[in-house]
Amino acid sequence: MNLNYVSINGKKVAYILEKNVANKPYLVFLHDSLGCIELWRNFPRLLAEANQCNLIIFDRLGYGKSDTFNSPERALDYMEKEADFLELFLATLEVEEALLFGHSDGGSIALIAAAKYPKRIKAIICEGAHIFVEEITLKGIREAKKGYQSTNLPEKLAKYHGDKTKALFDAWTETWLRPDFFKWNITAFLPQIQCPTLVIQGVADEFGSEKQVEGIMKGISHSEKQSYLIEGAQHTPHKEAQEKTLEICRSFIEKYIQ
């Protein structure tokens, strides 16, 4: 794994960039609330190779090998700020055309980025994304919090995030479980999305119901949109049903991205 680093607003961001094909977009991966470059495993490269795309995988601030959060306390608009940071990151790397693959929080960030920065974002794939808060989401987070307190989950996460582990875990759980966060909602961004969109979610997703998929599909007016509920998968279809997820994504990219 050949890591590179770039400074954005005085913060170091770790990333992998593989440019293999001229005149092809970059497939850019946005991880979830506990993720990082390494936790994607081999999925990004498999998808990039299947579609002959260039590739960028990076650690969002506060995760993996990137610098810490500016502040672990998050406002209701923290994912919009993440989308703004993504735009700066891609501009700094001179990426003119990006296809975003976002998982969970990363999927929500991808939706906002596509709405705000249509010139750079050419298509998005959202896996397990949220556009509003549901009780099933909060239940899943409460269970994760119990697991963090009673299992070796902190040690497992520390292998990837080091001394940032507690801060990132608390940033996720404490933000979403805050009473005021229940009103978080990004559906207002959806009508602004003007690029091909693929929405995938595991049938047994423990962090969101089918209402998330239905809401995204209803909110996006652009005609080039697809959705799939994947059998045998929970919140992470790219791991739990990798072959099926790869095929769905490969077909989508082949259809809409030249």
Cβ within 8 Å of residue 197, ≥6 positions away: 114, 123, 124, 125, 126, 216, 220, 222, 224, 225, 226
Helix, strand, coil share of the chain (percent; to 5) = 45, 20, 35
Which sequence spans correspond to the domains of the chain? 4-256
CA distance 145 to 169: 8
pLDDT for residue 24: 86
Return per-residue pLDDT of the chain as tens, 258 residues: 689 999 999 999 999 999 988 888 999 999 999 999 999 999 999 999 999 999 999 999 999 999 998 777 899 999 999 999 999 999 999 999 999 999 999 999 999 999 999 999 999 999 999 999 999 999 999 999 999 999 999 999 999 999 999 999 999 999 999 999 999 999 999 999 999 999 999 999 999 999 999 999 999 998 899 999 999 999 999 999 999 999 999 999 999 876
Q: In this predicted structure, what is the pLDDT of residue 23?
A: 84
Residues across the chain: 258
pLDDT at position 217 = 98
Residue with tokens 């002959």: 52
Strands annotated E in 82-165: 98-103, 121-127
Rounded distance between C-alpha atoms, residue 47 and residue 249, angstroms: 8
Per-residue pLDDT of 188-201, as tens digits, reads 999 999 999 999 99
> What's the fold here for domain 4-256?
Rossmann fold (3.40.50)
122 alpha carbon, distance to own chain's centre: 16
Output the pLDDT for position 71. Answer: 77
pLDDT of 166 reads: 95
